């Protein structure tokens, strides 16, 4: 018994070591667009949580930069308000944390603005005796990316020794990474004139979610599932990103974007890559991102003859949810009344490799649907023969393995099992792992993971340049087809759980979507 206990203790200790986070080294974070919605809702609360968990170094500061004219104190008040809105009030180290925030105002195309930023960084580096890492975070509209990065290069802030101290320089860029293949390539060429690929961290916040990260552990650390992860056992894969909200305050942007650009090119394809990629040689950034790029190269290109059969688009019309009446997309403020922008898109992808031959991947995403839901569903093949046919049970629902990413993260496996009662009292059984209930904690915000990884120099959860180009190459033919042909938009009522054109996409192949 003593020997057994020692082995258990050793295993627990080893797991605890693996679960330990690596704290960031000395770091300065320069945030452009510091008074904007993203920075206030996501960045500042995430930074505070890292600080509270002692994952921020003693030497760090945040320099907010933007067009709003704010003093350091007014900026700190704004950060404090953002923490309170996130449910964080006067907690441990609150005032020390806020005291590390500073601000510089100016116009993004004004070289003098960046000179002032450099001078302020010199003062703050000396104040905090900071050698280490400087991160420039572009929390900005994408059209400003080239302006800001060019100015950073012009005043040599992209240079490690720009402030008189040798520092590692990194750049965080938010999506969208271009609006089509040409603009994505132009942006990429520009960024690489100013920064090396090893310095660029392209954020896709879905990759920072716990359940998405768990895909690799689930697949490659369990011998029970990886042997089944192929065409022999899997019938098809469904990936859904459904939103119950409409365009809200993003109408001006969204009417120029649409669902295909907003969700498909980035979040959905990155999720496909993680589900379907081959085992990486090692758990390290380049190995994982190499396999994701290989998978994206294996997706069959869309051709004009296949697009109308395998890609469908929709737009929400007026509808009622409960007692609440919602307008149609074209009736939303700032939306063109004759807009042809799709608020819903579904598509069938085919992966041309050994593992996934003849296994379709069905993807859908849309706004103003019945509920908020992001999930990956692995649908296994039907049993080849039912021994219960003589009792009228000749067909069963297939087993499904479901990774729910939001609203509540978890993993669920559906099985057929016997219920108490007669010999053939059978029903579906769900094995459930609810992260929040199991670990008795609120799931960390994805930006916590991504910010910490950037500070420690780990690019695994950030999108590499080749994956960006491969994603745009894949969907550009759809944009070209829609530009040359009438986009056949199916109109669905706001709040619906069923978009007819998407249902037809699967029903013609004898399959059904999971219920929203």
pTM for the complete prediction? 0.91
**What is the pLDDT, as a whole number, of residue 416?**
77
452 vs 213: CA distance, rounded Å: 15
pLDDT of 10 above 50: no
Cβ atoms within 10 Å, residue 180:
16
Cβ atoms within 10 Å, residue 489:
18
pLDDT band, residue 389 (cuts 50/70/90): low
More confident residue, 263 or 93: 263
C-alpha 275: how far from chain center = 14
Each residue of 154-199: pLDDT tens digit? 999 888 766 666 679 999 999 889 999 999 999 999 999 999 999 9
Of 346, 356, 313, the C-alpha closest to 241 is: 346
Radius of gyration over alpha carbons of the chain, in Å? 25
pLDDT band, residue 316 (cuts 50/70/90): very high
3-state secondary structure of 222: coil
pLDDT of 260 above 70: yes
More confident residue, 439 or 390: 439
Cα distances from 380 to residues 116, 225, 237, 399, 403, in angstroms, run 59, 12, 9, 5, 14
Catalytic residues: 267
278 vs 230: CA distance, rounded Å: 11
Cβ atoms within 10 Å, residue 440:
7
In the chain, ranges of CATH 3.30.360.10 domains:
207-507
Residues near 197 by beta carbon (within 8 Å), at least 6 away in sequence: 464, 465
Residues near 342 by beta carbon (within 8 Å), at least 6 away in sequence: 258, 259, 260, 313, 314, 315, 487, 489
Run of H or E including 369: none
Bridge partners (DSSP) of residue 418 are 426
CATH superfamily of domain region 207-507 = Dihydrodipicolinate Reductase; domain 2 (3.30.360.10)
pLDDT of 337 above 50: yes
Cα distances from 205 to residues 43, 76, 239, in angstroms, run 12, 25, 17
What average pLDDT does the structure give for the chain? 89
**What is the pLDDT, as a whole number, of residue 1?**
36
Residues near 6 by beta carbon (within 8 Å), at least 6 away in sequence: none
Residue with tokens 């320099």: 63
Cα distances from 177 to residues 102, 143, 378, in angstroms, run 29, 10, 29
Each residue of 209-235: pLDDT tens digit? 888 888 898 899 889 888 999 999 999
Each residue of 16-32: pLDDT tens digit? 545 668 889 999 999 99
Query: Taking the C-alpha atoms of 347, 353, 358 and 363 in order, what is their torsion angle to the nearest 10 degrees?
Result: -20
C-alpha 264: how far from chain center = 11
In the chain, ranges of CATH 3.40.50.720 domains:
22-174
pLDDT above 70 covers a percentage of the chain that reads 91
CATH number for the domain running over 22-174: 3.40.50.720
- Assigned token pair, 130: 């900071």
Each residue of 394-423: pLDDT tens digit? 677 889 999 999 888 889 998 877 667 666
32 vs 137: CA distance, rounded Å: 6
Each residue of 418-468: pLDDT tens digit? 667 666 666 678 888 887 787 777 778 899 999 999 999 999 999 999 999
**What is the pLDDT, as a whole number, of residue 248?**
83
484 DSSP assignment: H
For 367, half-sphere exposure in the C-beta direction (CA atoms, 13 angstrom radius) is 25
3-state secondary structure of 230: coil
Each residue of 477-508: pLDDT tens digit? 999 999 999 889 999 999 999 999 999 999 99
Buried b (16+ CB within 10 A) or exposed e, 330-368: bebeebeeebebbbbbbbbbbbeeebbeebbbbbbbbbb
3-state secondary structure of 515: coil
3-state secondary structure of 211: helix
312 vs 75: CA distance, rounded Å: 46
More confident residue, 107 or 320: 107
Residues near 221 by beta carbon (within 8 Å), at least 6 away in sequence: none
Of 167, 161, 345, 152, the C-alpha closest to 263 is: 345
More confident residue, 306 or 323: 306
More confident residue, 436 or 388: 436
447 vs 205: CA distance, rounded Å: 7
- Assigned token pair, 45: 């609360």
Read off the pLDDT of each residue in 56-76 and give the average, rounded to a whole number.
94
Long-range Cβ contact pairs of 356-361 (< 8 A, separation 24 or more): 356/230, 356/231, 356/276, 356/298, 357/231, 358/231, 359/230, 359/231, 359/234, 359/235, 359/236, 359/237, 360/236, 360/237, 360/509, 361/236, 361/237, 361/238, 361/239, 361/272, 361/275, 361/276
């Amino acid at each position: 018994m003593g020997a057994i206990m020692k082995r258990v203790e050793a295993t627990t200790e080893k797991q605890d070591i693996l679960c330990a986070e690596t704290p960031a080294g000395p770091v300065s974070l320069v945030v452009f667009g510091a008074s904007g919605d993203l920075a206030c809702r996501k960045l500042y609360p995430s930074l505070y949580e890292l600080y509270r968990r002692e994952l921020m170094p003693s030497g760090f500061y945040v320099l907010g930069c933007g067009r709003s004219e704010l003093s350091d104190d007014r900026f700190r008040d704004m950060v404090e308000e953002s923490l309170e809105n996130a449910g964080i009030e006067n907690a441990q180290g609150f005032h020390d944390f806020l005291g590390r925030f500073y601000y510089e105002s100016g116009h993004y195309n004004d070289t003098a603005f960046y000179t002032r930023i450099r001078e302020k960084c010199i003062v703050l580096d000396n104040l905090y005796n900071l050698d280490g890492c400087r991160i420039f975070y572009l929390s900005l509209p994408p059209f400003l990316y080239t302006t800001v990065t060019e100015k950073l290069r012009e005043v040599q802030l992209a240079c490690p020794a720009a402030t008189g101290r040798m520092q590692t320089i990194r750049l965080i860029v938010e999506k969208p990474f271009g609006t089509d293949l040409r603009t994505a390539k132009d942006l990429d060429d520009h960024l690489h004139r100013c920064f090396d690929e090893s310095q660029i961290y392209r954020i896709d916040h879905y990759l920072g979610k716990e359940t998405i990260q768990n895909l690799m552990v689930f697949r490659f650390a369990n011998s029970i599932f990886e042997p089944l992860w192929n065409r022999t056992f899997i019938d098809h894969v469904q990936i859904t990103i459904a939103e119950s909200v409409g365009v809200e305050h993003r109408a001006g942007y969204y009417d120029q974007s649409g669902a295909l650009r907003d969700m498909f090119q980035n979040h959905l394809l990155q999720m496909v890559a993680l589900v379907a990629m081959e085992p990486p040689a090692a758990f390290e950034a380049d190995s994982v991102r190499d396999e994701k790029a290989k998978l994206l190269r294996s997706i069959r290109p869309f051709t004009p003859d296949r697009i109308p059969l395998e890609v469908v688009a929709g737009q929400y019309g007026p509808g009622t949810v409960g007692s609440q009446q919602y307008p149609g997309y074209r009736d939303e403020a700032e939306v063109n009344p004759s807009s042809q922008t799709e608020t819903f898109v579904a598509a069938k992808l085919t992966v041309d490799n050994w593992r996934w031959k003849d296994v379709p991947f069905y993807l859908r995403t849309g706004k103003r649907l019945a509920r908020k839901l992001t999930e990956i569903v692995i649908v296994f093949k039907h049993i080849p023969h039912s021994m219960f046919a003589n009792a009228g049970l000749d067909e069963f629902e297939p087993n499904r393995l479901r990774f729910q990413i939001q609203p509540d993260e978890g993993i669920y496996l559906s099985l057929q099992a016997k219920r108490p009662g007669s010999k053939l009292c059978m029903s579906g059984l769900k094995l459930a792992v609810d992260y929040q209930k199991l670990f008795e904690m609120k799931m960390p915000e994805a930006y916590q993971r991504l910010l910490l990884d950037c500070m420690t120099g780990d690019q695994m959860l950030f999108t590499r340049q080749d994956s960006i180009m491969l994603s745009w190459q894949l969907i550009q033919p759809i944009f070209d087809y829609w530009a040359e042909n009438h986009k056949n938009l199916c109109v669905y009522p706001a709040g619906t759980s069923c978009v007819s054109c998407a249902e037809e996409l699967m029903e013609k192949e004898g399959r059904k979507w999971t219920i929203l």
